Structure 1
Amino acid sequence: MLKKERHDFIMRQINLHNRVLTSDLVQLLNVSEDTIRRDLQELSENGQLSKVHGGALSKSYHSTFDDSEVYAKDAKIAIAKKTISLIKDGMVVLTGGGTTIIELVKQLPENLNATFFTISPLVAIELSNYVNIEVILIGGLFSKNSQITYGGHVISQLAEINADLCLLGTSAIHPQDGLTDTDWEINQLKKAMFNSSKKTGILCISEKLDISLKLKVAPLKNINYLITEIDPQSPELEHYKVENLRIL
């Protein structure tokens, strides 16, 4: 594989999942670790990603204040506008982090009266712009890679919450394998968030459909809403039509 092809592949993984691990890229591209390190260094120097220990992060993932480089921004705004129909006055809402959730918060009605729990400091900052929304940031260890809090203390706090609705972004979703991820700590966190909520919605750009990663989070039957930017009747979503799952 040519260097440009490797770089294009790496950037697609970054755009889809917000982060990549060097070890995963070595396996996926079947090249040496030194080659991947050089690729990440070059992409970092070109300003295309942020190189960190063990991998790289999306440039758009690190700040809620500059969204000029958010990948698939129009699709995420479309998803946000669909998701708003699920949020009502008086609700208790639990959210994850990521650029899709941040776009959702930016689209909320100005007069919404609700309580939001979140594991994302960036999401909490955006929510603070709303006068009638009570914002509760769940504290714990902070993941520099995912920009969220995690760990046993966070999971203990989640166990005390009874949210009406949990809203999560995702790295991957598949008709047979359901919701999956690559990070063990984040995987356990998402499971705890499912358990803390009456209903759960997954916000997912269509490019993340039909992808399966190594760690299972939840089967489709445990998801109440799947929200993408495409028409719910699209053939791409046909295999996701299972009992109890509403597609928006």
Structure 2
Amino acid sequence: MLKEERQAFIIHQINLHNKVLSSDLSAQLNVSEDTIRRDLNELAENGKVLKVYGGALSKSFQYPFRENHVYARDAKKQLAGKALKLIQNGMTVLAGGGTTMLELARSVPENLECTFFTISPLVALEMAERTKAEVILIGGQLSRSTNICIGAQVINQLSEIRADLCLLGANSLAIEEGVTDSDWEVVQVKKAMLRSANKTAILSIAEKLNSVQKMKVCSLNAIAYLITDLDPEHRSLAKFSQLVDVI
């Protein structure tokens, strides 16, 4: 594989999953980690990715956010619009972080009378500025790679909440493996969020379906809704529809 092809693959993986590890890219591309590190350094120098220890992040996570840096933004807007149909006045909603949740926060109607708990300072700010809803930030250690609050303090706070609905973005999603992620701390927080809600909806662009990360968040039967940018009757969603309500 030519260097240009390899780097194009790397950029796509980073855009799709927001974060990649050098070790995973090395295995996927069958090249040394030194080669991957050189690629990531070059891509970072050219302003295409954000280099971090052990891997790289999407430019989507660079604050302040720029619309042209958000991967598949139109698709994520569709997810947000579908998710809003699940929210009714008077509900208590627990929201995760990431660019899909930011699109949701930007789409919440100004007059919606709900209580939103979130682990994302950025989502909290968007909702507080744009709506009259009560917004409560669940605070703790800030993960610089995901811009959400993590750690034991967050998990303890989540244990004291009983939300009507939990809305989570997905890193990867597959029939057998369920919902998976690449960050251990994030996985623990997401598990706590699932335990704190009566129902959970996973928001995922179609490209993330049938992909797998190393750490499991939950099986598909642990969630109530799967929200994608596809029509619910799309053939690629047939197997998912047998396990979860697809929107």
How many angstroms does 1:201 deviate by?
A: 0.4
1:161-213: per-residue Cα shift (whole Å, max 9, x none)? 00111000011100111111111111111111000000000000000001122
1:57-104: per-residue Cα shift (whole Å, max 9, x none)? 111123364222110011111111111100111111111100011011
Matches within 5 A, 1:59-208: 59-63=59-63, 65-208=65-208
Q: Give the aligned residue type for 1:51.
A: K
How many residue pairs were aligned? 247
- For the 8 Å contact 2:194–2:200, the answer to whether it is kept is yes
* Range with greater deviation from structure 2 (14-23 or 225-234): 14-23
Q: Give the aligned residue type for 1:93.
A: V
Describe the SS at the equivalent of 2:157: helix
CA distance, structure 1, for counterparts of residue 161 and residue 19 of structure 2: 29
What is the Cα-based RMSD across aligned positions, in Å?
1.2
5+ residue gaps in structure 1? none
CA distance, structure 2, for counterparts of residue 157 and residue 109 of structure 1: 27
CA distance, structure 1, for counterparts of residue 93 and residue 10 of structure 2: 34
Describe the SS at the equivalent of 2:90: coil
CA distance, structure 2, for counterparts of residue 64 and residue 51 of structure 1: 17
CA distance, structure 2, for counterparts of residue 28 and residue 37 of structure 1: 14
- For the 8 Å contact 1:167–1:202, the answer to whether it is kept is yes
Match of 1:45 in 2: 45
Match of 1:211 in 2: 211
Q: Specify whether residues 18 and 9 from structure 1 end up closer, same or farther in structure 2 by C-alpha distance, changes over 3 A only.
A: same
CA distance, structure 1, for counterparts of residue 238 and residue 213 of structure 2: 21
Instruction: Tell me the percent identity.
Output: 55
- For the 8 Å contact 1:62–1:147, the answer to whether it is kept is no
CA distance, structure 1, for counterparts of residue 106 and residue 70 of structure 2: 14
- For the 8 Å contact 1:166–1:201, the answer to whether it is kept is yes
Q: Give the aligned residue type for 1:202.
A: I
- For the 8 Å contact 1:220–1:242, the answer to whether it is kept is no
TM-score relative to the length of structure 1: 0.96
1:29-57: per-residue Cα shift (whole Å, max 9, x none)? 22122211110011111111111121111
Q: Does 1:246 align with 2:240?
A: no
Q: Give the aligned residue type for 1:14.
A: I
CA distance, structure 2, for counterparts of residue 83 and residue 171 of structure 1: 17
CA distance, structure 2, for counterparts of residue 64 and residue 108 of structure 1: 20
Q: Give the aligned residue type for 1:246.
A: D
5+ residue gaps in structure 2? none
CA distance, structure 1, for counterparts of residue 84 and residue 62 of structure 2: 24
Q: Specify whether residues 175 and 229 from structure 1 end up closer, same or farther in structure 2 by C-alpha distance, changes over 3 A only.
A: same
Match of 2:34 in 1: 34
How many angstroms does 1:129 deviate by?
A: 1.5
Q: Specify whether residues 27 and 170 from structure 1 end up closer, same or farther in structure 2 by C-alpha distance, changes over 3 A only.
A: same
1:99-118: per-residue Cα shift (whole Å, max 9, x none)? 01101111111111111111
4+ aligned runs moved over 6 Å, structure 1: none
* Range with greater deviation from structure 2 (24-33 or 195-204): 24-33
- For the 8 Å contact 1:50–1:56, the answer to whether it is kept is yes
Q: Give the aligned residue type for 1:247.
A: V
CA distance, structure 2, for counterparts of residue 37 and residue 214 of structure 1: 21
